[in-house]
Amino acid sequence: MSVTGILLCAGSATRMGFDKLTTPLCGRTAIERSAALLIAGGCDRLVLVGSAANEAYLNALSCAVPHTVVRGGAERSDSVRNGLAAANGCEIAVIHDAARCFTPADCVTACIESARTYGSGVLAMAVRDTVVRTDGTAYETLDRTNLYRTQTPQAFRYAEIVRAYAEADSATDDAALYRRVVGVPHLVPGSEAARKLTTAEDWNWAKERLMTYPKIGTGFDIHRLVEGRKLILGGVEIPYEKGLLGHSDADVLIHAMIDAIMGAAALGDIGKAFPDSDERYRGIDSRVLLRETADMVRKQDMQVVQVDATILCQRPKLRPYIDAMRQNLAADLGLAEENVSVKATTTEGMNDEGRGFCISAHAVAQVRGLRES
Ligand code: MG
């Protein structure tokens, strides 16, 4: 029995300021995710209903089952109508909003089974909140016992949904139209995961779904204290008779922090990313490197969420400069200052730090990333 998924991708993207359907989230777009879940749920053919804006994108999409791309219409019902025309010959049509791209594949299967048995299968959630009708004056609490929120997919016997679309005018969803012409749709238990990505809040919800547990990295660096160099720690120039020797500005605190961040994100280390054999990095402000590190992390769909560091330094006293360091680091990493910690300790005259030969720093970073779901 052939089952065709009609994926509605023609919706306007203006509400979020970018195209929510074709912008990758953890490497895959909402359209790719929705196409995959329809296939996993039992569709053996797809019709992708797009817009002028995303037609080229849809044509280039690779799919595990045969698929057709058609242009949608001004209204949702026009898009469904065009999709149904292209699905000609199937027995069950599964209509799905591409923006509901985290719908469990099990829900698709359940809708298809329901359509086989009852003629229709409409994903719907019982309403748990109290629902009121008010215009600011009148106020009525509705009995929620028989109230549902419909979602998609909505699956129907092909011939019947085509007849419904032929005989009825537009409606907010396919189930409403089916009701007018064919009969009462059969509901299938829905899922909060079938949420439609419409607002920025929905987009953040989707990102949160894909977030991994925090990953932790450590970093360590040490530089020699010499005369004739500036002492720069955490981007703060500290008045002192000596400074740290290095190819860059030798900001040992930032270097340890970069290694901690790279360690958490498994991106290698500072020497690999910014080799000291590269003339571009001669004398460079290490804050530039820190910002580049944060960018590298973001490009991997990850973000730094917290850093902590300890500087081992006998002299000079660093306490007066700690807050300025934290401000610099927070600004470069895009973090609130409460998530950036810097501490300093002497080594009580012991070790090379204690004898004033060098300054070293230890750092820890937490990174969260998006994972494939
Ligand atoms: Mg270094």
* Residues 12 and 100: beta-carbon distance below 8 Å: no
Return the pLDDT at 373.
46
| Residues pairing with 244 in the sheet | 225
| Residue 172 pLDDT > 90 | no
- The overall average pLDDT reported for the chain is 93
What mean pLDDT comes out for the span 141-147? 91
Return the pLDDT at 210.
83
| CA atoms of 82 and 37, how far apart (whole Å) | 22
DSSP state of 49: E
| CA atoms of 136 and 141, how far apart (whole Å) | 13
Tokens describing residue 187: 């509901």
Determine the distance separating the centroid of ligand 1 and the alpha carbon of 251, expressed in angstroms: 7
pLDDT digits (tens, 9 = 90+) for 332-347: 999 999 999 999 999 9
Determine the distance separating the centroid of ligand 1 and the alpha carbon of 361, expressed in angstroms: 10
| pLDDT above 90 as % of the chain | 80
pLDDT digits (tens, 9 = 90+) for 102-120: 999 999 999 999 999 999 9
pLDDT digits (tens, 9 = 90+) for 203-225: 989 988 887 778 999 999 999 99
Dihedral pair phi/psi, residue 179, rounded to 5°: -60, -40
Determine the distance separating the centroid of ligand 1 and the alpha carbon of 246, expressed in angstroms: 7
| Residue 13 pLDDT > 80 | no
Determine the distance separating the centroid of ligand 1 and the alpha carbon of 245, expressed in angstroms: 9
Determine the distance separating the centroid of ligand 1 and the alpha carbon of 267, expressed in angstroms: 17
Q: Is the pTM of this model over 0.85?
A: no
Determine the distance separating the centroid of ligand 1 and the alpha carbon of 223, expressed in angstroms: 6
| CA atoms of 257 and 217, how far apart (whole Å) | 9
Of 215-224, 240-249, 293-302, 356-365, where does mean pLDDT reach its minimum? Answer: 293-302
